Amino acid sequence: MAVLQELKAKFDEELSKISQLEKDRSRCLMNRRQLESQLTENNMVKEELERLEPTAEARENVRKRIEYITTEITRVESVLADSLTQIESQKESAEKARDNLKALLSKSSN
């Protein structure tokens, strides 16, 4: 019976890890959407500045913001890709724990 409880605890732990990874991924997706919005806004500012012909300093500030946001989007996309890999790995671990639990339950009921 202790083995059964241990396997169930392991399975529950694996499910908890998956849940946390999915929450982290969700936060990352929200962050990416925000960055995309900021990028769109800054591109609009850039276009407007080009029409108005403001100082070179203003154009340079906007260019740097766009560059920073683009870099952040790339970083977030990398984090999202990594999180997807971690989620898949965690799901495999959970499936193994579930299979071990099922096997033990099957043996104990026979």
Distance between CA 32 and CA 26 in Å, rounded? 10
Pair of tokens at residue 55: 């100082």
Residue 46: is it exposed, middle or buried by C-beta count within 10 angstroms (0-12/13-18/19+)? middle
- For residue 67, the SS3 value is helix
**Residue with the larger pLDDT of the pair 53 and 100:** 100
Instruction: Report the pLDDT value the prediction gives residue 56, as an integer from 0 to 100.
Output: 80
Provide mean pLDDT across the span 45-66: 82
Q: Are 21 and 87 in contact (CB under 8 A)?
A: yes
pTM: 0.64
Residues in the chain: 110
Percent of residues, the chain, with pLDDT higher than 90? 57
